[in-house]
Amino acid sequence: MNLTLLTVLFTVFGFLLSGVWIALSLMATAGISLELFTNLPVGKIWAQALWNSLNNWALAALPMFIFLGEMIMRTKMSVLLFEGLKPWVQFIPGRLLHINVVGSAIFAAVSGSSPATVATIGKITLRRLDEEGYDKSLSYGSLAGAGTLGLLIPPSIVLIIYGVLGEVSIGRLFIAGILPGLLLAGLYSGYVAIRVLINPKLAPSGRETFTAKEMLASLWKLFPVSFLIMFILGSIYTGFATPSEAAALGVLGGIVVAGLLGDLTWRNLIDSVKGTINTSSMICFIIVGASFLSVAMGYLHLPATIATYIGSLGLGPYVMILLFTIFYIILGFFLDGISMIVMTLPITLPLAVLSGFDPVWFGIFLVLVIEAGQITPPVGFNLFVLQGLTNEPLEKIVIAAAPFFLIILFAILLITTFPEVVLLLPGLVMKGAAG
C-alpha cells in the first residue's frame, strides 16, 4: 500500500472520527491530498467538481421525492395507511407488527428515503404497539429493518444517485429494485411470524375481528397512497415520464390528494418545504464533497492502482463480492449510504463489471449493503431516528435491529446466488420494449 493511499485513508478517517461534518471531511481530504502529492490548482478542481456533480437533471428528482415523503408524513395519508392495513394482518402471527413491514414497503414506494420511512411509520405504529402489549424489542427491530426498504423499493434516492454517477439507466434500476424489495419485506415478515410462533408472549393473545364490509372499507383508506404509487411508477414504466418528471407529477399528485383529504394547510406546506430544504441541502453537500474526493483520487491514480492490485490477485467473482460486502459493511460504521456510493463507485463498479456482474445488479447489491449500514452503529441513521422516537438507549435499539441486519446479509446471499431475482423484470421490460 503506497504512501498516497495511506495518507488519504488516515486523513479521511481522522476527520470523520473527529466529528467534522462528512462533506467537509471529504473536501478537506481531497484538498490536502492534492496539495501534498500534485502541483494542480486545487481551487479550480474543486469548483469544477462542484459544478459537474450538481449540474445533472436527474438530481432534480431528489428534492421532489423528499418533499412528497414530507407531505405524506404530515397529512392524514400516513394515518389512513395504518388503519387500512390493520384488518389485513390480523390472521398473521405477530399481527400489527407486520404493519411496520408492509407500511414501510408501501411508504418506501412514494418517499424514496429510509430515515423518512422510519420516522413516518414509527410515529404511527410504535405508540399503538406499546399500548397493546407487543414486545418492544421486536417492534423496534422490525421498524429499523423495514425502514431500510426506502432505499430499495422504487423510487429510491440512492438508486437515482447510483444511476447518475454510474451512468446506469435509472428506469432499469427502479424496475430491478421491485423483486428484491418484496423479497426483503417477505423475509422480515417471515422472521416476525416465526418469532411470535416460537414465543407467543411477544404479541398479545387477543385478535380483533372485522366484518367483510369493514375489510372492504379499509381498502379505501389505502387508496390515497396506492394512487400515488401507481401514478408515479406507472408514469415511468409506461414511458409517459422520466424519473425526474415522475417526481414532479408525484408532488402534484400528493398536493391534490392532501387537498382532497382537507389536509392541505399552510403549516403542512411550510414544514414540508423546510424538511425538504434541510435534507436536500445535506445530500447535495455530501455529493459535492464526495465528488471532489473522487476527482482527487483520479488525479492521484488511486482507483487505477487499487484496481490493478485487486485484479492481480486473480480473485473469483464471488470472492470479489464477499470482499465488497465486508468492505461496505465496515464503511457503513462511519459513513452514510450516499457518501459510500459517491466515494467508492469509481473503484468498485469497474471491478464488478470486469468480474462479470451486470451494473444494474451491482446497483441493487450496493443498496442492500448500504441498507445494512443504516442499522449498524455508530452512523446508522435509522437507529438515530428510532432513538429520537423512543428515547431508548442506543444499545437497546442496536440489539433489537441485529437480527434484521443478518436478514439483509441473507438477502445479499440470495441475489448473488440467484441474480435473476434482480435482472428478471428489467429483462422482461427490455424484451417488451424491443417487441
232-287 residue pLDDT tens: 878 877 878 877 788 888 889 989 999 998 888 999 899 989 988 887 787 778 77
pLDDT of residue 71: 85
SS3 assignment, position 112:
coil
264/374: higher pLDDT: 264
Distance CA 404, CA 191 (A): 9
88-123 residue pLDDT tens: 888 889 888 998 898 888 877 776 667 777 877 887
pLDDT of residue 304: 66
Distance CA 307, CA 319 (A): 15
- Residue 13, domain member (yes or no): no
pLDDT of residue 315: 80
- Residue 387, domain member (yes or no): yes
pLDDT of residue 26: 79
SS3 assignment, position 239:
coil
- Residue 50, domain member (yes or no): no
User: Phi, psi at residue 96, to the nearest 5°?
Assistant: -65, -20
- Residue 345, domain member (yes or no): yes
Quote the domain boundaries for residue 360.
56-264+301-434
The structural domain count of the chain equals 1
- Residue 308, domain member (yes or no): yes
Q: If you average pLDDT over residues 401-405, what whole number do you get?
A: 93
Element (H, E) at 364: helix 359-374
- Residue 379, domain member (yes or no): yes
- Residue 14, domain member (yes or no): no
Question: How many beta carbons lie within 10 A of that of residue 250, not counting itself?
Answer: 28
Arithmetic mean of pLDDT over the chain: 83
CA angle 266, 151, 317 (to 5 degrees): 165
- Residue 18, domain member (yes or no): no
306/33: higher pLDDT: 33
